[in-house]
Amino acid sequence: MTRDLGFCVIYRARVHPDKEAQYIAAWSRLTMLIRTQRGGLGSRLHRGNDGLWYAYAQWESAEKRAAAFAMPAVDPAAQADMADAIIESFPEILLDPVEDQLMPVQIRRTG
């Protein structure tokens, strides 16, 4: 019996070092709005040791993602801020999950 694990995408970008906070804020705003208004299942943002930023996003299906992205930007200002912070974007990596052993975590930031 196969579980439906949805559809995932990895986004990669090189971000201006002096615009990292802008990128994080815009990414956070867009991710929250996509989750609450467009059916996204959430995302995690990572900074790689190779200098790239990675975001892993999950959707119910590729079709749901396509429908959400066919609509106008959920927040044009945040979309513009994110684009302004990016030096270079790389092709998306599309993933069909096979097995899921990822445990949800609550990250507590200090400061």
Give Cβ neighbours of residue 57 (< 8 Å, ≥ 6 apart).
Answer: 8, 9, 10, 11, 31, 40, 41, 42, 43
What pLDDT sits at residue 44? 94
The more confidently predicted of residues 71 and 2 is 71
Please tell me the pTM assigned to this model. Answer: 0.86
H or E stretch covering 32: helix 20-37
pLDDT score of 4 more than 90: no
Higher pLDDT, 78 or 106: 78
Q: Which domains does the chain have, with CATH numbers?
A: 7-95 (3.30.70.100)
